[in-house]
Amino acid sequence: MEISTIIFLVILAVFVIAVIVIFNKLVKALNENIGAFSNVDVALKKRYDLIPNLVATIEEYTTHEDKVFIEVTELREKLKERLPVSKRQKLEDKLSEVMKNVFIEVENYPEIKSGENFLALQNGLEEVEKDIEEARKHYNETTRNYNNLIQTFPNNILAKLFGFKLAEYFEVDFITRENVNVEFNSEEESNEEKENNIENNQNNNENK
């Protein structure tokens, strides 16, 4: 066998091995990304399971139109379908927006806010949304790693050849986040008012 043939076979073998290694890296990164979104999906479904109980608890006390509650049910049904990340995100945000309106409605009913069942469900929702946030962060991290991988040379050549596409980042608007911020701001304002009152009293005493 001629030396040129040996050299060619060695180069070909190295090329084939490189292709296999890169392809496996791409597949691994893609699978990690898909798996990470599955965790997001599991956490989101826990939220779906809590929402009907919340709505049912609120309906017992309110004479509110059924429109908002029907909308929640319809959104939950749509979200059970297999959807692209971008469409899923829009529907999730819509669901959060509708549920925030429900919580605003609850502000008019102190008996609901103080009810043990409602408080337990609200706390459960807060815990679930913390799980969603953790799962979302992990998914977006795998998305960044995967996208970087298929965009860098020479991976991008094989990615294009084998049909690997960029993954979408996922953001979600939380139902409980705004409520927490409102409580926090109210507490800050209350503390600020107390400090101002103390300062005013001190000034009054000095003037006396």
Same domain, 115 and 30: yes
Greatest distance between any 2 Cα atoms in the chain: 111
Q: What is the CATH number of the domain that holds 139?
A: 1.20.1440.20
Same domain, 207 and 186: yes
For every one of its 208 residues, what pLDDT tens digit does the chain have, with 9 covering 90 and above? 678 888 888 999 999 999 999 999 999 999 999 999 999 999 999 988 888 888 877 777 765 556 777 888 888 888 888 888 989 999 999 988 888 888 887 887 888 878 888 888 889 999 999 999 999 999 999 999 999 999 999 999 999 999 999 999 999 888 876 543 333 343 444 444 445 554 544 444 444 4
Same domain, 48 and 134: yes
Same domain, 155 and 132: yes
Same domain, 129 and 207: no
Same domain, 111 and 188: no
**Number of structural domains in the chain:** 2
- pTM reported for the whole predicted model: 0.76
- Containing domain of residue 199, as a range? 176-208
Place of tokens 């990690």: 32
Same domain, 117 and 199: no
Distance from C-alpha of 78 to C-alpha of 187, rounded to nearest angstrom: 38
Which H or E run includes 170?
A: none
Same domain, 171 and 183: no
Same domain, 50 and 130: yes
Same domain, 140 and 78: yes
Same domain, 116 and 207: no
Q: Judge contact between 121 and 53, C-beta under 8 A.
A: yes
Same domain, 56 and 114: yes
Q: What is the DSSP string of 87-140?
A: HHHHHHHHHHHHHHHHHHHHTT-HHHHT-HHHHHHHHHHHHHHHHHHHHHHHHH
